Chain A
Amino acid sequence: MDDKSIANMAVLAGEIMLRSGAETYRVEDTIKHILDTAGTAETESLVMLTGIIVTIDRPGQEAVTVMRRVHDRGTNMHRIVEVNEISRKYCAGDLSAEETWEKLKKIKGKQYTVWMYNLVTILVPAGFAPLFGGGLREILAAGGAGIVLAVLMTIGKRVKTGAFILNILCAAGIAVAAVFLKLWNPLLNMDTVIISGIMPLVPGVAITNAIRDTLRGDYISGGARALEAFVTAAAVAIGVGAGMALTTVFWQGGGL
């Protein structure tokens, strides 16, 4: 394979990882390893949260540079593990460049069924309820809030709203559900239900990656991810606030 194809392959691997929520330094590392396997050449990779730049420079030849803008980012551990394994095999010489390219192209996104996702969206709030001081009643109620969350998330995925709006809507839905459950059963601890309900939404991934990027000295990506975490947290907080405020105003008469 020529340098151009190698650079393209490295960028593809990096793009998949970056889209799947890998830490920036890990993406840079993987790209560098793939490029260096090609042989004696000056190679550089610069990865930021929003884009990748790769260059291969051989003495006496024009430098090959590939740049890729990365727009949307989610979290997908499956793809990170796959790219990691493939690049490791390639660097060890177990895979040829062509095979690696084919394998990278074939990496799939989803690996569980829609029902599985909905089931775990209910399971996460129910499971966290005891941690936040809930008993059996709160576990069931949190499961109920989880059902609302699952429905909202499914609708949100179909409509393709932005992550910010979707987070607000989901958090508001949980808050409304919790207030209604509280009205139905006054003994219920509403706080526990809401806190457990928003657990699938809180920016744990962004916080963790922000910390790890910052501590590796990658301040641009670390700062960007910290901002991402803050924005998500703000969206969830606004959603919960709006949901509670709305229900208090409309169904309990009286202001805040």
Chain B
Amino acid sequence: MMELFLVTAGCFLAVVGFAVLVETPGKYLLQAGFAGACGGWVYFFGMQKGLDTVPACFLSALVISLLAHIFARIFKAPVTVFLIAGILPTVPGAGMYRAVYYIIADDRARSSYYLIQTLEIAGVIALAIFIVDAVFRIRVPHRQEKRKS
């Protein structure tokens, strides 16, 4: 329980930090951090409950992109502003590192295991973003009609 809290708080701080690095305007920092913290929470909670890494990443990316789209609608900003910083906890940095680490340690079997896992995670992130994008795009024609009139 303590760990889960630490992870969520850490993700929040880290995502806010990354948002500053990519020059997110000050008024959107907290929202981006919130999306990231939720993503980190879902990922870690899933892992604690015995989910595999890839499904945990999928759920986490799904939650983050859903929140990013909702925030974009509420605060009238492009989705990227929240999505790019928020998605960071899910990005397969760990898998990438381990793949290289085992190449150096001369363990090809584990290296290719982590390489495949990295690609899988990148794939499920794509899937999650795609699903949410597609769901929210159903409304887009409406908005464009409004804009033209």
Binding site for B on A (CB under 8 A): 20-23, 26, 33, 75-81, 84, 91-92, 109-112, 116-117, 119-121, 123-132, 139, 191, 194-195, 198-200, 202-205, 207-209, 211-212, 214-215, 233, 236-238, 240-241, 244-245, 256
**B105: CB under 8 A from chain A?**
yes
Residues of chain A contacted by B126 (CB below 8 angstroms): 211, 214-215
Name the one of B25, B98, B105, B134 contacting A111, with C-beta atoms under 8 angstroms: B25
If the complex has contacts A80-B78, A112-B20, A205-B84, are A129 and B96 also in contact, measured as CB distance less than 8 A?
no
Most A-side CB within 10 Å, residue of B10, B12, B101, B130? B10
**With a CB–CB cut-off of 8 A, which chain A residues contact B9?**
127, 130
With A81-B81, A126-B10, A127-B13: A121-B89 Cβ-Cβ less than 8 Å: no
- Interface contact B13-A123, CB-CB below 8 Å: yes
Cβ < 8 Å to A, chain B residues 1-23? 3, 6-7, 9-23
Distance in angstroms between the alpha carbons of A244 and B130 in the assembled complex = 37
A199 to B94, CA, bound (A): 9
Q: Find B18's partner among A79, A109, A111, A124 (CB 8 Å cutoff).
A: A124
Known: A75-B23, A207-B122, A215-B129. 20 other contacts (CB 8 A): A26-B78, A77-B28, A81-B81, A91-B147, A109-B23, A110-B23, A116-B20, A117-B21, A123-B17, A128-B89, A131-B10, A132-B94, A191-B97, A199-B93, A204-B88, A208-B84, A212-B129, A237-B97, A241-B100, A256-B106
Decide: B80 and A22 in contact? CB cutoff 8 A: yes
Which 10 A-B residue pairs are closest in the complex by CB-CB distance? Answer: A127-B14, A120-B17, A127-B13, A123-B17, A237-B100, A130-B10, A77-B24, A127-B10, A204-B91, A124-B17
Count of CB-CB pairs between chains A and B under 8 Å: 170
State the CA gap A76–B3 with chains docked (Å).
33
Q: Nearest CB to that of B5 among chain A residues?
A: A130
Bound together, the chains give a CA A124 to CA B15 distance in angstroms of 7
CA distance A112 to B16 in the complex (A): 13
CB neighbours of A139 from chain B (8 A): 10
Q: Chain A's nearest CB lies how many Å from the CB of B45? A: 12
Majority secondary structure of chain B interface residues (helix, strand, loop or mixed)? helix
Q: B31 to chain A: closest CB distance in Å?
A: 12
Nearest CB in chain A to that of B3: its residue: A130
Interface size, chain B (Cβ < 8 Å): 56
Supply 22 A–B pairs (Cβ within 8 Å), ascending by A.
A77-B24, A79-B23, A81-B81, A110-B23, A120-B17, A120-B18, A123-B14, A123-B16, A124-B17, A127-B13, A131-B89, A132-B94, A195-B93, A195-B94, A195-B97, A215-B129, A215-B134, A233-B96, A240-B100, A241-B101, A245-B104, A256-B105
Tell me the smallest distance from the CB of B82 to a CB of chain A, in Å: 9
Contact B105 A77 (CB under 8 A): no
Contact indicator B7/A130 (Cβ below 8 Å): yes
**A76's contact among B10, B17, B23, by CB below 8 Å, is which?**
B23
Question: Which residues in A have their C-beta under 8 angstroms from that of B91?
Answer: 199, 202-204, 207
